[in-house]
Each structure stands twice: as C-alpha cells, then as structure tokens.
Amino acid sequence: QVQLVESGGGLVQAGGSLRLSCAASGRAFNSYAMGWFRQAAGKEREFVAAISRSGGNTGYADSAKGRFTISRDNAKNTVYLEMNSLKAEDTAVYYCAATARAYYGGRDPRSYDYWGQGTQVTASS
C-alpha cells in the first residue's frame, strides 16, 4: 500500500506557473508508476501526465504538452508536476495516482490503484 498527499495548488493568474508535489509513503516508491489527473467542476476526471517507475518514460495529454513537465525523485518519494503558461481551462482539482501493476501506468485511470485527495488549481483570466 502507498499513501499519496498532493500539495502546491493555489490561485494563479493566467500565464503563471505552479509546481505540484505528491509525496508518497509506504511501500518502496520506485515500485510504483505514477500519474497526474485532473477533474474540473462538472467534468470527468482526465489524464494529464504519467511517468514510469524509473522516470525514464513520460507521457502527456495533448493539452499539457509543451507546458507541463512531470518528474520524480525516488530518493525523496515524490513526484512533481511543473505547470507553466497556465490557462483558465487548466482550473481543476489535480490528483496524483500510483500503480504497482505496471512499469508505466499510462493515461487510463483504471490502471491506477492508489489516489491522493487532490489539490485545487485555479488559473484566473
């Protein structure tokens, strides 16, 4: 089992930047592939970015490419999501997720078994 706690959300003007962190506790962090998802009010949860156990493989939603960067520090048991050039449409609750079932979890939320509580990101236009 792993417990996930997100932090770093907040209110930012459109065009600004935020860095989200997701701290993991429990079983060895490098046993888990990680992902970031988001859910805007009234919408379904959607994929943002994913990273493999070692950090060597990453993937992004089209909406995140070129603006967001996912990374991880296995020594600190933490995964990050650096978000630049934020837009109003990026406003959502952001969740990190973990899976031990695969080296790389990908974009399907059903691939992930553990979820954090989420952190709110609001980009005002």
Is residue 19 scored above 90 in pLDDT?
yes
In this prediction, residue 125 has a pLDDT band, given cuts at 50, 70 and 90, of confident
Residue among 90, 68, 64 nearest 79 (CA):
68
**Residue % of the chain over a pLDDT of 90:** 97
How far lies 76's CA from each of 35, 60, 92, 124, in Å?
A: 17, 23, 26, 32
* pLDDT value for 44: 97
- pLDDT per position as a tens digit, 34-63: 999 999 999 999 999 999 999 999 999 999
